[in-house]
Chains A and B, each alone.
Chain A
Amino acid sequence: MDFASLAAQLNTEVILPELIVTATLLLVVVGDLIVGRAASSKWTPYVSIAGLLAAVGSLYFLWDKPNPISFLGSFNGDNLSIVFRGIIALSAAVTILMSIRYVEQSATSLAEYLTILLTATLGGMFLSGADELVMIFVSLETLSISSYLLTGYTKRDPRSNEAALKYLLIGASSSAIFLYGLSLLYGLSGGQTNLNDIASSITTAGLGQSIAVVIALVFAIAGIAFKIAAVPFHQWTPDVYEGSPTPVVAFLSVGSKAAGFALATRLLVTAFPYLTEQWHFVLTALAILSMILGNVVALAQTSMKRLLAYSSIGQAGFVMIGLVIGTDAGYSSMIFYLLVYLFMNLGAFTGVILFSLRTGTDQISEYSGLYQKDPLLTLGLSICLLSLGGIPPLAGFFGKLYLFWAGWQAGAYGLVLLGLITSVISIYYYIRVVKMMVVKEPQEMSDAVLNYPEIRWNLPGMRPLQVGLILSLIATSIAGILSNPLFTLSNESVTKTPMLQATVKPEKPVAVMKKSNESAQVSMKF
């Protein structure tokens, strides 16, 4: 193989964003070693954010690339992966904004934290485009192991250690199960590792409906469901979320979850085309359980972090509606929802971090009367929570509407009705927090708010938090009303991705019905 054809086969430019992230990562590590911890913490976070934003920018140039396959077919940089990689990189960038002050206050090294976070981001980004079993597993583990490290990052806090250990044990066993599923696929397909080849050789071998493939499917779904925290694979979520450093939770609930959805879409759609009904069925069950359990249990929470943990389980349930219906509109509504979820959930976490930095607590009852002391935080947190609850005209409303409309079009009436009902439940617990902050009178103020420190944005690391809060506040309020670009983006990422186009259900009946209706009306007139 000569060099030119090798270069063509590697097609390295497809992973340009990942290369940028890697370079940033190395710069942070080496820079930290050279200049020392105290000096490096001044510039490393901004370099990391710049690197991540540059990676997002470079994704723009890879859009609609005629030949997205790279590294001999192990990485597929199609439009779907580009959107997911963008979501993950953006979520990491916003996470860094909210981490600076938090990590410094916990008296641990910032550069190390950034290195691990960037590694996790890298894993997630590779996972979004991974088209081959080994690639999938390696990037999944890169993401997972970095996440275990991040959850235990505040090493002097016993709860953080507990969270890390729990996450590690459950995560490792779920990885093992997932890997077992992959090994079954490898064996059944006669030694193929590329997802497309696996599908074709299993079909030609006539094993499409065999019990072994079904077991492989179940194991794969178990691994994915662990990543996206779908019920009943969610048990780790509340404890890990409560114990871990809050910025890490923010990343886990957005970036890591988005990576899980990317993996689910690619693996299930490409490798299991002959079991579509079965995996739709299993994921429907998971979606139903997640929506019910996540939203109902969230009602009873007293800690803000646990509330957001359960709410994120419920939100994952909503997103899964888009995944299981298997239409163009379904996939693009899933992506649209993840895009707006990125802003609103990270905004909510920024608010929670800001509050806990200033008061040292995250009990919901301690938010009582906050508007009096900190109007900006109250506004930002309220808007983000209301958007999560789906109140118009905020971004979350349009996201949910699109999901439900897509689900309804695909005939998933039960799922949509359940989604509607559980989103009413979710409004109740989100409004509870808003009520605490906004409604309570000055005399009902909690101790934490009574002793609220003076607001000083000029402390080191506070300015990024302010920027993050205001950015997500603006994005959450505007992204709904002016959502056409986001809609176009998510639609095009689906319609221009060959993998999804090969499998989506034909949507012809709609058009036919419309036509016949129109002709009927015409004939009525004449």
Chain B
Amino acid sequence: MLSALIVIPLLGAILIGLLPRVSSSHAQTGAEVPDYSRAIALLAVTLAIFWSVLLGFKFDTSISHLQFVENMPWIDALGLTYRLGLDGLSLPLLVINALLTWFAIYSTDELLQRPRLYYMLILMLNAGVAGAFLAQDLLLFFLFYEIELIPLYLLIAIWGGAQRGYAATKFLIYTAISGVLILAAFLGLTWLSGASSFGYDPSRSQFLPLATQLILLGTLLIGFGIKIPLVPLHTWLPDAHVEASTPISVLLAGVLLKLGTYGLLRFGLGLFPEAWSVLSPWLAIWAVVSVLYGAFTAIAQSDMKKMVAYSSIAHMGYILLGAAAATPLSILGTVFQMISHGLISALLFLLVGVVHKKTGTRDINILHGLLTPERGLPIIGSLMIVGVMASAGIPGMMGFISEFIIFRGSFPVFPVQTLLCMVGTGLTAVYFLLLVNRSFFGRLPVQFSNLPPVQWSERIPGFLLATMIVFLGLQPSWLVQWTETTTTAMLISYPTIGAVGHSLTQKDKG
């Protein structure tokens, strides 16, 4: 059942690869060979969306353990099993992976160079990410985690901006190092705990001495910290975002960063609860540093895309805060935040992409008055304001709910850190107001008075995303019900601090 989510995109990729090549000889003779690669890619991803939604309906929200488990021995000598499973943590991420891939493909320029390779790589990326969210075996997770490396590298390096080679290589090296650290931690954990296989087992670390646990967890934290990214391991992200094309930025921010946060929850908190509780005050401080650094740096940016990229760093910091607090509420908030950040940043990147396409620049010092009706980009501008409000956590939107749940959950445990992170939310409003104020309000300069018209096909993804953001902001329980059982169950083995937070929230509820 679950393998289908990996197999469908892969089959799509293979099918595209088998399409006849649109060679130069055809172009010379003038015989137009239609290119079906885009259609196939859209079809495959649509199937994947339906499949994951179907899974969502079949998913039993009252059970906390894994569902639809698939178990197949793969390589015994390595202790590698092909074990997939679904729980409330991975289900929303799977849906958003399929969804955002669809948006990415849909919003790709139809006149793109080398479409077959492009769509093949996107589908491979989708399959790899789905596999990583489903894998219930440490080595299998690592395998899928590394699979996305090369497709994403090529997607940035081939279809990116002027400095794409540099940005792609930087991404590659950072992610490869992160992979190596994660592998080292997995090997260490499995060997030291004396297990013969790499199967995911939360009780595995409990007999290890605390110092060993701390070393292993530290390695994992740095590995996933590169991917999330946390300050000071974040320097690849602004480069990658600025150089990547719009659809790739959407995928990078919306889906791939979630691999890091998912790994943090599943393998950091999940495998090392004891060490996690020791480190958690420091993690909360790290979160504060990340949030404030991201927010302040975003204020100083003049490139819209860079601004959104730094806001991603800040928003990922909330997830670390929620994970560090490890109360049922804050963990629920982190999952919600992953989804809301995925949707909001996808919306923002898409809109920035449209602005860049129409005006030729992303510099907020040059852009003015884009909201002007008739000659400006009024609808895009309005959508942008919605996205910005959601990102800044205005009530009624998804961003508000997720940040509220996280802060509500983490405040009893880390009051000071939570307050400082709230300052970060305030700063989000500052830099996004700057962005909107400078580039969308005011008079439209003459140079932008003849902007090419925006097609409806460019607006539709924005509308859909904005609708989802508002809808889930008003009806958060639709998302929460999938996740709540799992996140509560994740903390059963979590010692001391979690218990304190838990009792506090219980008391509040009573």
Nearest chain A residue, comparing its CB with the CB of B193: A517
CB pair B196 A427 closer than 8 Å: no
Any chain A CB within 8 A of the CB of B420? no
Q: How far is the CA of A244 from the CA of B195 in the complex (A)?
A: 49
A420/B180 contact (C-beta < 8 A), A375-B21, A393-B143, A438-B158 known: yes
| A residues near B78, Cβ cutoff 8 Å | 398, 401-402, 405, 487
Any chain A CB within 8 A of the CB of B478? no
CB pair A329 B184 closer than 8 Å: no
CB pair B172 A431 closer than 8 Å: yes
A427/B187 contact (C-beta < 8 A), A439-B154, A517-B194 known: no
| B residues near A402, Cβ cutoff 8 Å | 77-78
Interface string of A402-439 (1 = CB under 8 A from B): 10110011000000110011011001100100010011
| A residues near B154, Cβ cutoff 8 Å | 438-439
Any chain B CB within 8 A of the CB of A251? no
Any chain B CB within 8 A of the CB of A397? yes
Q: Which of B145-153, B273-281, B358-366 contacts A (4 or more CB under 8 A)?
A: B145-153
CB pair B187 A405 closer than 8 Å: yes
Residue in B146, B157, B194 whose CB lies within 8 Å of A392 = B146
CB pair B191 A408 closer than 8 Å: yes
Any chain A CB within 8 A of the CB of B379? no
Any chain A CB within 8 A of the CB of B183? yes
Q: How far is the CB of B9 from chain A (nearest CB, A)?
A: 14
A401/B139 contact (C-beta < 8 A), A329-B77, A375-B21, A392-B147 known: yes
Q: How far is the CB of B142 from chain A (nearest CB, A)?
A: 8
Give 22 pairs: A residue, B residue, CB < 8 Å, sorted on A.
A391-B146, A391-B149, A391-B150, A393-B143, A404-B183, A405-B187, A416-B184, A420-B183, A423-B180, A427-B172, A428-B169, A431-B150, A431-B153, A431-B169, A435-B169, A439-B154, A439-B157, A483-B75, A487-B78, A491-B77, A514-B194, A514-B196
CB pair B158 A439 closer than 8 Å: yes
Q: How far is the CB of A471 from chain B (nearest CB, A)?
A: 19
Q: How far is the CB of B209 from chain A (nearest CB, A)?
A: 14
Q: How far is the CA of A474 from the CA of B34 in the complex (A)?
A: 29
Any chain A CB within 8 A of the CB of B165? yes
| A residues near B183, Cβ cutoff 8 Å | 404, 420
Q: How far is the CA of A450 from the CA of B196 in the complex (A)?
A: 54
Q: How far is the CA of A487 from the CA of B80 in the complex (A)?
A: 12
Nearest chain B residue, comparing its CB with the CB of A407: B187
> Beyond the given A397-B143, A420-B183, A517-B193, could you list 16 further A-B residue pairs with CB under 8 A, ordered by the A residue number?
A375-B21, A391-B146, A397-B146, A402-B77, A404-B183, A405-B78, A405-B187, A421-B180, A424-B177, A428-B172, A439-B157, A484-B74, A491-B77, A514-B196, A517-B195, A521-B203
Any chain B CB within 8 A of the CB of A510? yes
Any chain B CB within 8 A of the CB of A332? yes
Q: How far is the CA of A421 from the CA of B194 in the complex (A)?
A: 25
Any chain A CB within 8 A of the CB of B476? no
Q: How far is the CB of A476 from chain B (nearest CB, A)?
A: 14
B79, B154, B158, B194 — most chain A CB neighbours (10 Å): B194
B78, B149, B154 — most chain A CB neighbours (10 Å): B78
A404/B75 contact (C-beta < 8 A), A428-B169, A435-B157, A513-B194 known: no
| B residues near A428, Cβ cutoff 8 Å | 169, 172-173
| A residues near B191, Cβ cutoff 8 Å | 408-409
CB pair B75 A484 closer than 8 Å: yes
CB pair B165 A435 closer than 8 Å: yes
CB pair B146 A517 closer than 8 Å: no
8 Å CB interface, B107-134 against A? 113, 117
| A residues near B144, Cβ cutoff 8 Å | 392
Q: How far is the CB of B7 from chain A (nearest CB, A)?
A: 13
A386/B150 contact (C-beta < 8 A), A401-B78, A424-B173, A428-B169 known: yes
Nearest chain A residue, comparing its CB with the CB of B160: A439
Chain B interface residues (CB < 8 Å from chain A): 21, 74-79, 113, 117, 139, 143-144, 146-147, 149-150, 153-154, 157-158, 165, 169, 172-173, 176-177, 180, 183-184, 187-188, 191, 193-196, 203, 207
Q: Chain A interface: which size bin?
A: 35 or more
CB pair B195 A514 closer than 8 Å: yes
Any chain B CB within 8 A of the CB of A300? no
CB pair A416 B187 closer than 8 Å: yes
Q: How far is the CA of A226 from the CA of B77 in the complex (A)?
A: 32
| B residues near A421, Cβ cutoff 8 Å | 180
Q: Is the interface of A mostly helix, strand, loop or mixed?
A: helix
Chain A interface residues (CB < 8 Å from chain B): 329, 332, 375, 386, 391-393, 397-398, 401-402, 404-405, 408-409, 416-417, 420-421, 423-424, 427-428, 431, 435, 438-439, 441, 483-484, 487, 491, 510, 513-514, 516-517, 520-521
CB pair B207 A520 closer than 8 Å: yes
CB pair B194 A510 closer than 8 Å: yes
| A residues near B193, Cβ cutoff 8 Å | 517
| B residues near A424, Cβ cutoff 8 Å | 173, 176-177, 180
The 9 A-B pairs at the shortest CB distance, nearest first, are namely: A513-B194, A420-B180, A487-B77, A439-B157, A424-B176, A392-B143, A408-B187, A514-B194, A392-B146
Q: How far is the CA of A398 from the CA of B177 in the complex (A)?
A: 18
CB pair B176 A408 closer than 8 Å: no
| A residues near B207, Cβ cutoff 8 Å | 517, 520
| B residues near A423, Cβ cutoff 8 Å | 180
Q: How far is the CA of A484 from the CA of B144 in the complex (A)?
A: 19
CB pair B147 A393 closer than 8 Å: yes
Q: How far is the CA of A401 from the CA of B75 in the complex (A)?
A: 11
CB pair B149 A332 closer than 8 Å: no
Q: How far is the CB of B262 from chain A (nearest CB, A)?
A: 18
| B residues near A420, Cβ cutoff 8 Å | 180, 183-184
Q: How far is the CA of A368 from the CA of B191 in the complex (A)?
A: 44
| A residues near B203, Cβ cutoff 8 Å | 521
Q: How far is the CA of A408 from the CA of B281 in the complex (A)?
A: 32
Q: How far is the CA of A397 from the CA of B142 in the complex (A)?
A: 11
Q: How far is the CB of A483 from chain B (nearest CB, A)?
A: 6
Q: How far is the CB of A414 from chain B (nearest CB, A)?
A: 12
Q: How far is the CA of A409 from the CA of B173 in the complex (A)?
A: 27
Q: How far is the CA of A514 from the CA of B150 in the complex (A)?
A: 37
Q: How far is the CA of A397 from the CA of B147 in the complex (A)?
A: 11
CB pair B75 A398 closer than 8 Å: yes
Q: How far is the CA of A402 from the CA of B79 in the complex (A)?
A: 10
| B residues near A483, Cβ cutoff 8 Å | 75
Nearest chain A residue, comparing its CB with the CB of B188: A408
Nearest chain A residue, comparing its CB with the CB of B194: A513
Q: How far is the CB of A477 from chain B (nearest CB, A)?
A: 12
Q: How far is the CA of A391 from the CA of B255 in the complex (A)?
A: 21
| B residues near A391, Cβ cutoff 8 Å | 146, 149-150
Nearest chain B residue, comparing its CB with the CB of A424: B176
| A residues near B177, Cβ cutoff 8 Å | 424
Q: How far is the CA of A427 from the CA of B177 in the complex (A)?
A: 11
| B residues near A401, Cβ cutoff 8 Å | 78, 139
B77, B139, B144, B191 — most chain A CB neighbours (10 Å): B77
| A residues near B194, Cβ cutoff 8 Å | 510, 513-514, 516-517
B144, B183, B187 — most chain A CB neighbours (10 Å): B187
| B residues near A417, Cβ cutoff 8 Å | 184
CB pair A487 B150 closer than 8 Å: no
| A residues near B165, Cβ cutoff 8 Å | 435, 439
Q: How far is the CA of A521 from the CA of B207 in the complex (A)?
A: 9
Q: How far is the CA of A428 from the CA of B187 in the complex (A)?
A: 23
Nearest chain A residue, comparing its CB with the CB of B187: A408
Q: How far is the CA of A510 from the CA of B195 in the complex (A)?
A: 8
Q: How far is the CB of B128 from chain A (nearest CB, A)?
A: 9
| B residues near A439, Cβ cutoff 8 Å | 154, 157-158, 165
| B residues near A521, Cβ cutoff 8 Å | 203
| A residues near B147, Cβ cutoff 8 Å | 392-393
Q: How far is the CB of A382 from chain B (nearest CB, A)?
A: 9
| B residues near A517, Cβ cutoff 8 Å | 193-195, 207
Q: How far is the CA of A408 from the CA of B192 in the complex (A)?
A: 10
Q: How far is the CB of B499 from chain A (nearest CB, A)?
A: 19
| B residues near A438, Cβ cutoff 8 Å | 117, 154, 158
CB pair B180 A487 closer than 8 Å: no
